[in-house]
A and B are shown apart, each in its own frame.
Chain A
């Protein structure tokens, strides 16, 4: 065989995961992409033709592009709040809390993963009602989603923060840097991989969320996620749903392309 031992090892290590991903994600997406160019679902034996109409609809009909923006906006809000709230928590946990306390708090932060997201969202309808009276509003959606994704932010930031060698920080201090300077020059840049991971883990699911807006948002629930769901579940217009899905995907990539170079630069500077 032409494969070197090195290549064979790499193949053996990566092939299982990648064959799995190909069969369950990449090929299905290709099928979906094909659908987005059809005039109708090939259901009921209708004449099916190739069309760009669904993509044209997205840009010409306000209900689609405006609600797409609403989805992106929601994703930005939730991601930003999760990081602003979660990063200090991760920092505190990684650098200022020690021993069994750290273990206990860490455990408590990841435990909510184990309660079902639907039930937690539903529980918020009870909490937000009486004293706060903000149920069925945009803030309610944001609170519900921040609650769902905050542990992701804390977890990923924590993993990269606790990996930073304390002696680096000590060294910075002994060279006369203020705590703010050491944070800005050492801690923050070194923890950016965690921040990046958090952005991925939060922004993407939030932009496609439809359950939380439905349950908590009342009249403010409409965005691209619920509309796509409706195309698949209620209206049965698969091709339009597929086209809207791929447009949403394009937006996700666009936003990440904007964020990535910035973070890369920060990491490079560190």
Chain B
């Protein structure tokens, strides 16, 4: 993990930040305002929630978005003192903590802290030297979802994506890491350290006749599914819940017998946050059942790290029936941090596979 001494290379870091189009928010912080950095449409920017939060605390919430985790890190590096609350996938929290981008948290400020699932809350991805650097917020799975109107029998295997019956009707995300991990699961390997890369490559190349087209966002996934381009497609559990509820698409998320990719996200407070008190209040609100239950019920959300919140969901909610099932959780492989070198190798492998598609 790279170490940062900001003074020495501020110019270069700025440039790099520029590349990710993040940064230099010349944003003045009004009293009683916090700035949140997150994916767009990922819970923290729900309009009704912000109104609810403002009514409770008088704090106004402003958003900025990132399109990739690298962009999020670079925004933090190049715009210290801009952001208060930052959403982070667990695999990036320690990197950010080492670089001094996020601050150690006083857990007593979070009244919901004790209700959080300990396995997530106290994960070594969030805790360093006994100090928490992120509050566990939500978690979810990546596997696939299918159109119940097109596929009558619920598939229970990853092999469904390779099933000739769905040739030309499979949706796939154009993402190197995710593709490799799914192929690793399908070939029975450890997705964080696959032993047989060639096997993964061949498995992915076999998708040539299967894939209709790639999707890159939840919105695109919905549109392709609605248009009938996909019968079955790689997807995220929280998004599947939203597609079903908010978009009313006839889709079901599946955790196949080979397992699924697990991820969990935390909410952090930036090192030089202008309003750390407000940030803590907002994070506490985000993990509160009051917000979460409405989010999952009305919009669709990943599973909450707050056990109490999950317990308040309706009995048929995906987050209770599927993600709440201990048998399912046993099959999950959790995503591990990844080096820059490995990223480059993954990208080349995936580009090679895509080139074979186009031949």
Contacts and interface: CB of A to CB of B under 8 A. Distances in A.
A44 B214 CA distance: 32
Contacts of A217: 213
Interface in B1-52: 2-5, 8-9, 12-13, 15-16, 19
A220 B357 contact: yes
A67 B355 contact: yes
B16 to A, nearest CB: 4
Nearest to A126: B227
B165 to A, nearest CB: 19
Contacts, number: 85
Contact of A219 (B4, B8, B358): B358
Interface of B: 2-5, 8-9, 12-13, 15-16, 19, 67-68, 70, 74, 176, 208, 211-214, 216, 227, 229, 340, 343-344, 347-348, 351-352, 354-355, 357-358
B214 A221 contact: yes
Interface string A208-237: 000000100111111100010011111111
B343 A235 contact: yes
B347 A230 contact: yes
Contacts of A227: 351
A136 B4 contact: no
Contact of A70 (B13, B15, B19, B358): B358
A125 to B, nearest CB: 8
Given A221-B358, A233-B68, A238-B19, A42 B352 contact: no
Contacts of B2: 44-46
Given A43-B16, A45-B8, A232-B19, 15 more contacts: A42-B9, A43-B15, A44-B4, A45-B5, A63-B352, A70-B358, A129-B227, A135-B229, A214-B216, A217-B213, A218-B214, A221-B358, A222-B355, A227-B351, A236-B19
Contacts of A165: none
A80 B351 CA distance: 28
The 5 A-B pairs of least Cβ separation, nearest first, read: A218-B213, A44-B2, A43-B16, A219-B357, A136-B213
Given A219-B358, A221-B214, A62 B13 contact: no
Interface of A: 41-46, 61-63, 66-67, 70, 129, 135-136, 138, 214, 217-223, 227, 230-238, 240
A45 to B, nearest CB: 5
Contacts of B344: 235, 237, 240
30 contacts: A41-B16, A42-B9, A42-B15, A44-B2, A44-B16, A45-B4, A63-B348, A63-B352, A135-B213, A136-B212, A138-B358, A214-B214, A217-B213, A218-B211, A218-B212, A219-B208, A219-B211, A219-B354, A219-B357, A221-B214, A221-B354, A221-B358, A222-B354, A222-B357, A230-B351, A234-B347, A235-B344, A236-B343, A238-B19, A240-B344
Contacts of B347: 230-231, 234-235, 237
B357 A63 contact: no
Nearest to A61: B348
A222 B16 CA distance: 26
Contacts of A220: 357-358
Nearest to B209: A219
A238 B20 CA distance: 11
